[in-house]
């Protein structure tokens, strides 16, 4: 079920219906008791707002929680849309009207809930709450902020549709399936296939280095890091060196689904991305060149996040960040099913119309450590390499805080 369809237990003796929650705001208390302590402000549509304060001991008259950050991220994991990184979550179903131009955005909450306003401001370098419900946004970044906020406030709340994920450290850990890909032919430039994955977290790096997302044999699909923007690259020599990419740089955000669809006749590799619940964006199309076709070298193995361990000009980094819900398919997913894949929220993958066409589905992090099981069965021998049990991260529900 979606975020709005269930009750969420916010303290030991209080539950709130998801449909009653309009926003969740992280803040630091100023003045009085617990000055300087972190807090969570839960905006409600039909009742008085709730304030939670982080502390190790009970305080008379205050709602106390052990970890404000964990509470915030639990609400995010359960399906709220993030408007300001680590500070503000919203329930799009509670938004009644959006007004905006090139310098401001106002989101009016249904009923008597008031509104939120975001203003372009050359005097700030990061999103800053200048008064309650009013945020200043760096002027140069405002168009990007506005467009992303409109996307997230205009669609159903996202949801990772999983109970756990695998957290890569970007150093040496990766997921490896030892067999099955000779038949499936993922990353084989002579076959048709579709691959997809959800990013639970995506740290940004500005070093222009290549990081491996998918690999089989010596064939690799990479994302090149460019700070707030990233680009797709591929190679048939297990290296970022002399790789082939598209000159289309687009930001990857926490929670994005990424999908890659390859047609062996046209040699076109199409790259889609988007938030769950939203229409996907076609970032670009890469035409695999003659060099990579000639050097085509997939294996029976298939890996997620596997770098090559080199530190010279041939370096290919391991993936950094959290991942779950890997899917693979022989052939294209198609426009209708692709739209359903990105827009599905709340229902498990095996309840979707396109599930019967999958050849692989890995519910990453939900198996006993270190195992990673392809529940459809196309890939076998899966496990997390060089990881720890803590890398299998449960997605907390607000009911657990």
Q: Are 258 and 252 in contact (CB under 8 A)?
A: yes
Q: Is the pTM of this model over 0.85?
A: no
Any idea of the CA torsion for 68, 72, 75, 80, to the nearest 10 degrees? 160
What pLDDT score does 399 carry? Answer: 42
Instruction: List C-alpha distances in Å: 293 to 8, 233, 298.
Output: 52, 14, 11
Instruction: Tell me which DSSP letter residue 398 carries.
Output: G
Nearest to 372 by CA among 351, 392, 355, 352: 392
Kindly write down the DSSP assignment for every residue of 163-204, as one continuous string: SEEEEEESSS-EEEE-BSHHHH-TT-TTS-EEEEEEEEE---
* pLDDT tens over the chain, length 401 residues: 456 666 777 776 778 888 888 889 899 998 999 999 999 999 888 888 899 999 999 999 999 999 999 888 878 766 788 888 888 888 887 887 888 888 999 988 876 667 889 999 999 998 898 988 899 999 998 988 887 787 677 654 434 456 788 999 999 999 999 999 999 999 999 999 999 999 987 887 889 999 999 999 999 999 999 877 899 999 999 998 878 999 888 888 777 899 999 999 999 999 999 877 778 899 999 999 999 999 999 999 999 999 999 999 999 999 998 899 999 999 999 999 998 898 776 567 888 889 999 999 999 999 999 999 999 999 999 999 999 999 998 875 444 44
pLDDT at 158: 39
pLDDT, position 291: 96
157 φ/ψ angles, rounded to the nearest 5 degrees: -55, 140
Buried b (16+ CB within 10 A) or exposed e, 51-84: ebbbbeeeeeebbbbeebeebbbbbbbbbbbbbb
Nearest to 272 by CA among 203, 379, 194: 194
Return d(Cα 372, Cα 363) in angstroms, integer: 8
Q: Which domains does the chain have, with CATH numbers?
A: 3-153 (no CATH), 164-400 (2.60.120.200)
Strand blocks (E) in 202-332:
210-216, 219-226, 229-235, 244-245, 257-263, 268-274, 281-287, 302-304, 320-330
Give dist(CA 213, CA 303) in Å, integer.
8
Contact call for residues 139 and 120 (beta carbons, < 8 A) = yes
Peptide bond into 162 cis (omega under 30): no
DSSP symbols for 115-180: EEEEEEETT-SS-EEEETTEEEEEGGGHHHHHHHHHHHHSSPPP---SSEEEEEESSS-EEEE-BS
């Amino acid at each position: 079920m979606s975020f709005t369809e269930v009750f969420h237990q916010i303290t030991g003796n209080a539950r709130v219906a998801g449909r009653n929650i309009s926003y969740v705001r992280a803040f630091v208390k100023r003045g009085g008791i617990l000055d300087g302590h972190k807090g969570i402000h839960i905006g409600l549509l039909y009742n008085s707002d709730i304030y939670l304060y982080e502390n190790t001991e009970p305080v008379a008259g205050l709602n106390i929680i052990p970890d404000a950050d964990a509470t915030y991220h639990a609400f995010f994991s359960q399906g709220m849309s993030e408007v300001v990184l680590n500070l503000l979550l919203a329930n799009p179903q509670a938004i009644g009207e959006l007004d905006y131009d090139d310098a401001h955005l106002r989101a009016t909450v249904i009923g008597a809930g008031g509104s939120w306003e975001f203003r372009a401001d050359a005097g700030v370098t990061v999103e800053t709450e200048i008064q309650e419900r009013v945020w200043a946004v760096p002027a140069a970044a405002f168009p990007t902020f506005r467009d992303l906020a409109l996307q997230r406030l205009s669609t159903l709340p996202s949801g990772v549709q999983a109970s756990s994920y695998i957290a890569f450290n970007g150093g040496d850990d990766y997921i490896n399936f030892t067999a099955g890909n000779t038949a499936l032919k993922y990353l084989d430039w002579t076959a048709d296939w579709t691959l997809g994955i959800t990013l639970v977290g995506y740290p940004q790096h500005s070093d222009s280095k290549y990081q491996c997302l998918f690999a089989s044999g010596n064939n690799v699909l990479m994302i090149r890091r460019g700070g707030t923007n990233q680009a797709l690259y591929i190679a048939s020599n297990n290296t970022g060196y002399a790789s082939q990419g598209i000159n289309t740089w687009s930001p990857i955000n926490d929670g994005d689904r990424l999908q890659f669809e390859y047609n062996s006749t046209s040699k076109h590799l199409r790259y889609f991305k988007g938030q769950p619940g939203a229409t996907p964006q076609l970032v670009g199309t890469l035409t695999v060149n003659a060099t990579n076709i000639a050097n085509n070298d997939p294996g029976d193995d298939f890996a997620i996040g596997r770098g090559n361990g080199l530190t010279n000009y041939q370096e290919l980094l391991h993936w950094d960040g959290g991942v779950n819900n890997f899917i693979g398919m022989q052939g294209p997913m198609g426009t209708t099913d692709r739209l359903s894949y990105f827009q599905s929220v709340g229902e498990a993958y095996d309840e979707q119309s396109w599930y019967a066409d999958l050849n692989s589905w890995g519910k990453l992090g939900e198996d006993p450590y270190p195992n990673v099981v392809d529940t459809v069965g196309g890939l076998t021998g899966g496990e997390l390499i060089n990881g720890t049990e803590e890398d299998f991260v449960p997605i907390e529900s607000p009911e657990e805080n």
